[in-house]
Amino acid sequence: MKEGDDGTPDEVDDLDLALIRAAQGGIALSSRPYEALAKELAIGEGEVLERLSRLLELEVIRRFSATIGHRALGIVANAMIVWRVPPEDAERVGGIMASFDEVTHCYERAERPEWPYNLYTVVHSPSREECRKVAAEISRKVGITEYQVLFSEREFKKTGARI
């Protein structure tokens, strides 16, 4: 995919960007959810669907999903689990960790002398004890015993990436 001077793929125009921004604000829960986007952008509903399909094909948009208020569903504990994984095993171990349903994020980051952890997973569960059990299960499955479970104390902001 070729990119322009600003890093935006050549196949993405200003209307595509406006559509992405509008969709990020939320899509109406209705029988015709794209109709409001079409009206906002002064284009047809069919064009909205065509553009979204193309943006998905280009992998500019990865997916559409609902945002669930997990606390309202009883999922009140979340933890970042930091793992010390030999760099040569990071890809294999990260893939296994990412396969757990309870894991919502799995990242590799550079370790530091004062912080030797290089893999990070985020787990959401009904309780802190459940988070600890998931961490122990992951540990057993991947054979990594050097880890810490860090629980969130307070949420200041939570949002997806936006353009």
Count structural domains, the chain.
2
Q: Measuring CA to CA, how many Å separate 17 from each of 9, 14, 53, 69?
A: 11, 5, 14, 27
The string of pLDDT tens digits covering residues 67-121 is 666 777 777 889 999 999 999 999 999 999 999 999 999 999 999 999 999 999 9
> Is 128 part of any domain?
yes
pLDDT bucket at 64, cuts 50 / 70 / 90: confident
> Is 63 part of any domain?
no
My answer on whether 38 and 102 are in the same domain is: no
- Of the candidates 122, 81, 80, the residue with the CA atom closest to the CA atom of residue 103: 122
Residue 63: what pLDDT? 81
> Is 147 part of any domain?
yes
